Structures are given as structure tokens and as C-alpha cells.
Amino acid sequence: MRDLVEKLEKNRTLGRTELKALLGGTDAGDRERLFSAANRARLRIFGDGLFVRGLIEFTNHCKNDCYYCGIRRGNGRAVRYRLDEDEILACCERGYALGFRTFVIQGGEDPLYGAARVEALVRRVRGAYGDCAISLSLGEADRGSYERWFEAGADRYLLRHETAGERHYAMLHPRGQTLANRKRCLFDLKDIGYQTGAGFMVGSPFQTLDDIVEDLKFIEGLRPHMVGVGPFIPHADTRYRDMPAGGVELTLAVIAVLRLMDPWLLIPATTALGTAAPDGRERGVMAGANVLMPNLSPPEHRRKYALYDNKICVGEEAAECRGCLSLRMATIGCRLLCDRGDYAGFGQQGGKGGQEWTASTARRARAGSI
Ligand code: 5AD
Ligand code: FES
């Protein structure tokens, strides 16, 4: 196992059998060696800095019916809400005042937020916050819509692929939702020039280690700038309510493998990880994660964006979360960085990548040249 960690560190890739062995190993010493190699890689590139993105969950209306998700269309018990443009801008204003320079505008696939309305929204945010990065996370769309939003000023797009294998994808989604379209979206997004985030849940219903290996191989092919992984957590109003939650240790192992596959990758320590274990996000960072996404949504709506049960931070104001995160991360020797924090590694558009994250790459990233 020690050999596999060293090999992954050196070559940044492993074969399928090797990946499976690495992820499947449960020896505490081996896991510790994997986590510390990933933590060293994080420290080498990013030092003690963690990028902070302000998350605005602006609608929980969704036309999709993913079987695992609490805000899926078929959940009649979900209390629906939608922020209008002024309310979204007010979230940005609060976030800006707190120092955030990246806004993640995330929602379900809400038919009332069509391509034109999103485009106008992006233009407004871009006009008001020229120095901020705008990330969209609005699900699947046609290439033309993605292009319009990019032209309007969006820089990044987060779309988890959820699972890279057809068999497993079909166990998590109804027939109308296809893996082929999800993958098409991701390749379009990258091709258009977005800094692109993929990702998946660990321990989702019926997932095997082979499925996770497929996810990692898919990511190797896509070369996204960001990968979000978090444990699956059951939601009481879904058919998977009695399924076990994903393992924290396995999630950490996936984070560590991703860090070693691409030392420059942006990897969030997710809210789901913080929900699955009280110190989940800290442990995520110690296993290689380098991004935090505190919530900027109005507290009165937070509870309704319930993808899974017992989500943390639903009662806290954005400022409280920032303060809490800053204290938590200080306990593991890290500090919050509020700047744009663009990707500076291999997957970047038009660049060679591979450089260390230095003050000069950070400056160029801010100036938009990488
Ligand atoms: N548990 C954990 N993560 C979930 N997501 C959706 N439902 C759940 C759940 N029950 C994740 C999906 C989605 C992201 C926004 O949240 O991966 O892409
Ligand atoms: Fe939200 Fe700790 S991060 S309360």
C-alpha cells in the first residue's frame, strides 16, 4: 500500500486495480500515509491558504427527479422557494462586505429561471462585481445557454457528474436523465472556457468501489478544475431513506487520491462531509481539500434547500459561518483566503500549467491571464 501511495504521488495516475486496492484498504496506518501524502501536496502548492466561495442557493424548484435528492420534483413534501434577482444581488452584497470574491449561484433546474433570465442575472452580477468570480451551478443545459452565460460574464460552472458508469447512473436517476447528456454538458463547459467542476457522492446507493474507480478515470479524462465529493446522506422523503450514509473515511480517501492525481485541483471540504462528521471539513482539509463554501443564502430559506437530512449551518448567518470556519481552520493551521482563487494547474485553459501556486500566479489569475 505504501508503494501505491508513492507511485500515485510520483506518476499522478494508477491503474484501475491499483486504485481499487488503494481505496479498499482499511488499514489505519495505510490510510494515514495516504492522507498525509495528500496533505503535503496541498501544503506544497497552496500553503496554509484555503479558498472561500460564497454559496447562494437561490431556488429549490427542480424539474429533475434524482432518486437520492430531497428537492427532486417528485417530493411533494419539499417546501419550495425561489429568490428573485434583487434578493440574489443582496446576497452578493452581503458576501462582498464579508470579503468574498467568488459567488456560487446554485439552484435546482428551475423552469422559471430560463436561459434569458439567467443571462440577465449574470450580467447584473458581473456589472456590480467586476472583481469577483461568478460560478454557476444550475444543472444541465444546452450548449447555447452555457455560451450565453459565459459571454455574460460567468467564469466557472459546477456540475457533478454524480457517477460515471451507466449501470449505476440508471439506479440513481429516472430514464429521462442520461449520463450521456451529463457528460456532454461537462465537455461543453470545459470547451467553452469555463473553469469546470465535476464530482460525485461517495457511498451513494448501490455504489461499488469499481464505480468510484470509474469516477476517478472519468475525471482523469475530463481534467476538470474542481472536483466536489461528499458522502451520500439519506433524505427521509426519498426512496433511499433507509440506505446507509456514505463513509467519512472513504470520502477522505477519495479526496486524498484526487489531490495526488492533480496537486493543483480545487477540492472543497463539503457541507455534506461536515454533516456526516462534526470535524468532517477539517479532516477533509487534512486529506487534501483546499476550498470551503459557506452559505450566503438568506437564513429564512436555508432549511428548505435540503438535499439530505440534518444539513449543518442552516441556522447560521453568513458572517457566523465565516467566523466559525475561520476558527475551525485555525485549529489545523489554516487561514481563509477570500480572493478569487482561480485554478492554476494542468487543466487551465490555454496554459501549460504545472506551476506552483505562487504570489505571481495568484496575481495573474486575478488579472484573468491564467
Ligand atoms: N446526499 C449527499 N449529497 C447529495 N446531493 C444530492 N442529494 C444528496 C444526498 N442525499 C449532491 C449531489 C448534487 C449536489 C448539489 O448535492 O451530488 O450534485
Ligand atoms: Fe456554518 Fe460552522 S461553518 S456554523
Could you tell me if the CB of 232 is within 6 A of ligand 1? yes
Residue found under cell 432549511: 303
* Contacts for 8 with CB less than 8 Å, ≥ 6 apart: 14, 18, 22, 37, 257, 260, 261
For the chain, where are the alpha helices, taking DSSP H only?
Answer: 2-11, 16-24, 28-46, 85-97, 115-128, 143-152, 166-172, 179-192, 209-222, 248-261, 271-276, 280-286, 299-302, 318-330, 359-366
Check pLDDT > 90 for residue 81: yes
| pTM of the model as a whole | 0.93
Pocket mutation for ligand 1, best pick of 53, 66, 67, 68 (most atoms within 8 Å of C-beta): 68
Q: Which of 55, 303, 321 is the best mutation target for the ligand 2 pocket, counting ligand atoms within 8 Å of the beta carbon and taking the most?
A: 321
As a whole number, mean pLDDT of residues 178-183 equals 98
**207's grid cell:** 455504489
Q: Number of folded domains in the chain?
A: 1
Does ligand 1 lie within 6 Å of residue 162's CB atom? yes
Residue to mutate (ligand 2; options 50, 281, 313, 314; most atoms within 8 A of CB): 313
Whether 323 is in a domain gets the answer yes
pLDDT at 355 over 90: no
pLDDT of amino acid 367: 46
Ligand 2: residue whose CA is nearest its atom 3:
321
Q: What is the mean pLDDT of residues 230-248?
A: 98
Is there a domain that residue 13 lies in? no
Distance from Cα 205 to the centre of ligand 1, integer Å: 12
The reply to whether 9 falls in a domain is no
Strand, coil or helix: 158: strand
> Residues 6 or more apart from 345 whose CB is under 8 A from it?
45, 225, 262, 263, 264, 265, 353, 354, 355
pLDDT at 346: 61
Q: Which pLDDT belongs to residue 344?
A: 86
Confidence of residue 212 (pLDDT cuts 50, 70, 90): very high
Atom of ligand 1 nearest to the CA of 199: 17
325 domain residue, yes or no? yes
Q: What is the pLDDT of residues 97-132, one digit of tens each?
A: 999 999 999 999 999 999 999 999 999 999 999 999
For 316, other C-beta atoms within 10 Å of its C-beta total 16
Query: Cα dist. 9→30, 251, 268 in Å?
Result: 14, 19, 20
> Looking at ligand 1, which atom is closest to the CA of residue 231?
2
Residue 354 lies in a domain: yes
> Ligand 1: does its nearest atom lie under 6 Å from the Cβ of 284?
no
325 lines ligand 2 (CB under 6 A): yes
Q: What is the pLDDT of residues 156-174, one digit of tens each?
A: 999 999 999 999 999 999 9
Atom number, ligand 2, closest to the C-alpha of residue 322? 3
Calculate what percentage of the chain has a pLDDT beyond 70. Answer: 93
More confident residue, 369 or 57: 57
**How much is the average pLDDT of 75-85?**
98
Question: Nearest residue CA, atom 16 of ligand 1?
Answer: 307
By alpha-carbon position, which residue is closest to atom 1 of ligand 2? 321
- As a whole-number percent, the residues of the chain with pLDDT over 90 amount to 91
Whether residue 240 has its Cβ less than 6 Å from ligand 1: no
Is 87 touching ligand 2 by the criterion CB < 6 Å? no
Mean pLDDT of 328-335: 98
Q: How confident is the model at residue 345, as a pLDDT? A: 82
Report if residue 46 sits inside a domain: yes
Q: Region 256-275: what's the mean pLDDT? A: 98
Report the pLDDT averaged over residues 180-205. Answer: 98
CATH of the domain at 281: 3.20.20.70
In a domain, 206, yes or no: yes
Mutate-to-test residue for ligand 1 from 308, 309, 312, highest number of ligand atoms within 8 A of CB: 308
**Domain assignment of residue 20, yes or no:** no
Q: Supply the range of the domain harboring residue 170.
A: 36-361
